[in-house]
Amino acid sequence: YIVGLRIASFIFLGGVIGFGILVPLFGLIRGWPGSGDIVEDFYTIWSSEIRYIGVGAMIVGGVYTLWSMKDTIKDGLMKALKAA
């Protein structure tokens, strides 16, 4: 278990939201690309829209994690500087 069940479930949920909710929603609101192949249309919407939403969610999660650990990081840096 590299990431654990909790993090793995978040990753899985992100995939379900992206492919199961957001891609069809973008297709209905903005229109399907119209290639005639539903798999290609899904991939086109995912690669041009949904991928960036996922990256933004990961960035927000990383910033939130760093912010919540700021005291621990500060204490660790202070101890490292004192030891040097």
Would you state the pLDDT for residue 7? 87
Would you state the pLDDT for residue 29? 94
Would you state the pLDDT for residue 1? 63
Say if CB 71 and CB 62 are below 8 A apart: no
Query: What are the tens digits of pLDDT across the range 12-53?
Result: 999 999 999 999 999 999 999 888 889 999 999 999 999 999
Query: What are the tens digits of pLDDT across the range 8-23?
Result: 999 899 999 999 999 9
CA distance 83 to 71: 18
Q: In the predicted model, what is the mean pLDDT of residues 62-78? A: 95
Q: Where are the domains of the chain?
A: 4-79
Say if CB 18 and CB 47 are below 8 A apart: no
